[in-house]
Amino acid sequence: MNTSKENPPAFGLIIIGDEILSGKRADKHLPKVVELLAGRGLSLAWARFIGDDRERITDALREAFASGDVVFSCGGIGATPDDHTRQCAAAALQVDLALHPEARDLIEQRMRDVAAEKGEVHDPERPDNMQRLNMGVFPVGARIIPNPYNKIPGFSCDGPGGGSVHFVPGFPVMAWPMIEALLDGAYRHLHRQDAWQERSVVVMGAMEATLTPLMETIEREHPVKVFSLPSVDHPDYGRHIELGVKGAPDAVAPAFASLLDGLERFGAELGPELVR
């Protein structure tokens, strides 16, 4: 996978679990991953929500491995019957599952720590402790992702199509520090806080259809992306559109100037300008 700044990968997110789709739990991963990426000048290209269905999870992971994208997958990496992600990752990659030696050591250390906290002697042969080792059974060739919360690691795999998928638990207290560590470790060179900007203006009472030709002109004449965020019931602005451009700062400045010129010629009523 090409991870240079000149041709950076897209970032994707897969969230797995029946509890999200049934409404038993509200997803918190999507807004947090968007926040973590934005704080580093990056953005999320896509996201998928999938229930605990092996065929659907395997299909989604197969696509992710073939995508060339950097993908974070949250949930389903435990060792209970409703956790399928590890098995689906192996199936998508067409490799075997095996106990990762470093994961085994970390899980055993966690079990020793828990036993010591309870004043007990750790028994590695106890059935429940043997079951816990299944949480370190990963696709062959996987790399571990350290878990600062309880030592039980996640794992990363690279696909033949260039996609890299990083598997973390569904618990935010574990998943978010693990994702942040990846962003500040393997993908630190992609950060671009000073190389990405958004500028926009509130256009009062406008309709998107009437502004579309101007938006198309801006994208045709400038190396930026144009975005349009309509609202019909804003408490301060009422019906309006937040219309803007995003991209490299040196491209955003002239593109935004052209956008304002076009809106002035259109006779639009403009509200405040925003910079992000």
Q: Tell me: the pLDDT tens digits for 9-48?
A: 999 999 999 999 999 999 999 999 999 998 898 999 999 9
Give pTM, 2 decimals: 0.82
**pLDDT above 80 for 7:** no
Which are the contacts of 145, defined by CB distance < 8 A and separation ≥ 6? 153, 154, 155, 156, 166, 167, 168, 178, 181, 182
Rounded to the nearest angstrom, the gap between the alpha carbon of residue 272 and the centroid of all alpha carbons in its chain is 31
**pLDDT above 70 for 205:** yes
What top-level class would CATH report for the domain 197-275?
alpha beta
48, 15 Cβ separation under 8 angstroms: yes
Give, in degrees to the nearest 5, the angle at Cα 16 between 38 and 186: 40
Q: Is 197-275 in the same CATH topology as 11-190?
A: no
> Does residue 164 or residue 207 have the better pLDDT?
164
Give percent of the chain with pLDDT exceeding 70: 97
Q: 33-41, long-range: CB within 8 Å, 24+ apart, which pairs? A: 33/72, 33/179, 36/176, 36/179, 36/180, 36/183, 37/11, 37/183, 39/193, 40/183, 40/184, 40/190, 40/191, 40/192, 40/193, 41/191, 41/192, 41/193, 41/194, 41/195, 41/196
Closest listed residue to residue 99, CA positions, set 135, 148, 125: 135
With b for 16 or more beta-carbon neighbours within 10 A and e for fewer, the 204-225 pattern comes to eebeeeebeebbeebeeebebe
Q: What is the residue-wise DSSP string for 70-109?
A: EEEEES--SSSTT--HHHHHHHHHT--EEE-HHHHHHHHH
CATH number of 11-190: 3.40.980.10
- In the chain, where the domains are located: 11-190, 197-275
d(CA 203, CA 206): 6
Closest listed residue to residue 165, CA positions, set 42, 8, 35, 14: 14
Closest listed residue to residue 256, CA positions, set 271, 237, 274, 230: 274
Q: What pLDDT is stored for residue 5 in this prediction?
A: 57
The overall average pLDDT reported for the chain is: 92
Closest listed residue to residue 187, CA positions, set 63, 74, 72, 70: 70
Strand order in the sheet with 154-158: 44-50, 11-16, 70-74, 164-168, 154-158, 143-145
